[in-house]
A and B are shown apart, each in its own frame.
Chain A
Amino acid sequence: MNVATLDQLWVYLSGNPLLSLLVTLLVFVLAVRINRAVGGTPLLHPVTLSIAMLIALLLVVDMDYPTYFEGAQFIHFLLGPATVALAIPLYDHRERVRRLLWPLLLACGAGIVTAVASTLGVAMLLGARTETLLSLAPRSVTSPIAMGIAEQIGGIPSLAAGLVLLTGSVGCALGPWIFRLLRIKDPVVQGFTLGLAAHGFGTAHAFARLGAVAGAFSGLAMGLTGLLTAFLLPLITRLFGFG
């Protein structure tokens, strides 16, 4: 019987999408377990934890991102139909959305202006470079929209996408503290706020932790914020003297 050497096996496995797909699922299961074991703290959010563990793993085994993504893209692909599926909880809660339409729209506008103005303000004070600044500006919008906006106003699209992801994890970690501080318990307000400030991450978090009502309003906020930011952001950056 011929036994293949370990490095031969590795060459085969690392070039096969099966490995990264399996590892992604296993790491996620492990991350959910760890998160539960430490009492479900949002500081060690399963998504943040999975991402950190996977990056560490890829660095250790020296696999580059495109190779990893060849397998992981099957999971990534489902984001599209899942986004479409957000219409279902929105439909279920359509009466509530209709009743609250104006408060929701106004809160969305206020949130976007706050997000962009505070981002540009703080980053300018701390002396970030102009490209970094303009890549930070669209950070609370879901990544495909953010990349388009960053390009339009003169930022770096790929950096913008990375910053969007960081914003998502920071938002999920800070959310519960802010809600406790402001004594906000309504799942509608919590969900909408998370979707606005932390896009898809916030929406996923709202679904997983706060239930379907929060998830529906979070999805609504994510969509609205994306649409409105695409129009508002170029105007705000001009106010700050860019472009």
Chain B
Amino acid sequence: MPLIMGMSVLLACQFAGELVARGLTLPIPGPVIGMVILLVALMTLGKVPSSLRMTGEGLLRYLTLLFVPAGVGLMVHFELIGADLWPIVVTLVASTAVTLGVTAWVLARLQAGHARRSGRPGGKA
């Protein structure tokens, strides 16, 4: 039964998350709040039950597959995207590249500085 137990815990957290999101009309999706709820629960408990670990890590291993159905939904937007095709394509590529670069650079710098200050060897661990 470990699979059923694990799945129940995940769904219960998502359910609680949805209730909080709807109840307080937050602009945050229920599963994200569910993730916070589960994290708090795990910290209180002090360990990850093996049934939950089995189910959760199984799901995460196939996370890429789970995006496919939503991605196919792009076909519905062809017309809207076509109306502004080049600005959209150039913006997506240029801005994503800059965002990746800036974030990675800032974090690498800050992390190196942080590690130096706290006397730990920087970067990799």
Contacts and interface: CB of A to CB of B under 8 A. Distances in A.
Contact of B35 (A68, A83, A169): A83
B5 interface: no
B57 A88 contact: yes
Contact of A114 (B60, B102, B108): B102
B107 A91 contact: no
Contacts, number: 310
A165 B81 CA distance: 12
Contacts of B110: 102-103, 106-107
B60 A207 contact: yes
B104 A189 contact: yes
A136 B80 CA distance: 12
A162 B69 contact: no
Contacts of B119: none
Contacts of B72: 51, 54-55, 58, 65, 68-69, 72
A28 B65 CA distance: 7
B interface, over-half SS: helix
Given A78-B59, A158-B76, A139 B92 contact: yes
A184 B43 CA distance: 31
A139 B14 CA distance: 24
A158 B78 CA distance: 11
B23 interface: no
Interface in A161-212: 161-163, 165-171, 174-175, 178-179, 181-182, 184-186, 188-190, 192-194, 196-198, 200-201, 203-205, 207-208
Interface residues of A, number: 112
A102 B35 contact: no
Given A90-B39, A162-B81, A145 B59 contact: no
Interface string B37-77: 11100110000100011011101110111111111111111
A242 to B, nearest CB: 16
Given A65-B76, A159-B81, A193-B100, 11 more contacts: A48-B71, A68-B69, A68-B72, A78-B59, A80-B14, A81-B14, A85-B56, A142-B32, A161-B77, A200-B63, A208-B61
- A-B pairs, top 8 by smallest CB distance, nearest first, are A85-B56, A72-B69, A103-B110, A111-B103, A162-B77, A83-B31, A107-B107, A128-B87
Interface of A: 24-25, 27-28, 46-48, 50-51, 54-55, 58-59, 65, 68-69, 72-73, 75-76, 78-92, 94, 96, 99-100, 102-104, 106-108, 110-111, 114-115, 118-119, 122-123, 126-129, 132, 136, 139-140, 142-145, 148-149, 152, 156, 158-159, 161-163, 165-171, 174-175, 178-179, 181-182, 184-186, 188-190, 192-194, 196-198, 200-201, 203-205, 207-208, 215, 219, 223, 226-227, 230
